[in-house]
Structure 1
């Protein structure tokens, strides 16, 4: 959806520190910086999420990006 609105976005695959399974997330270009947005992880947190969509890059190990 973001790409359809002209917002540069990447699909990224790899690992997140607290997950054992292979995982996917997005990187979005905001203010000339690539930031991690992980809606799958946020959805799993449910009501306990911290309301911060931007994630810390040290928690992610990128293997592939598209």
Structure 2
């Protein structure tokens, strides 16, 4: 469960970066790449959150994402 929550947070980082890139890019190919990355990362987050909901587990944890010492 911790893995799915941590990876959801991890995948949220490129979502934020993709939005910034999409808004700032002038090149249509770069905008398309940013959009593709944004949509694929959001789909993966939805999948992991779906697992957590199916398992009856909370979407968030009390600890900060990736606070588990095994991630270091």
> TM-score scaled by structure 1?
0.27
Question: Which has more helix, going by share of residues?
Answer: 2
Question: Which has more strand, going by share of residues?
Answer: 1
Larger RCO (CA within 8 A; separation ≥ 6): 2
Q: Larger radius of gyration, structure 1 or 2?
A: 2
> TM-score scaled by structure 2?
0.25
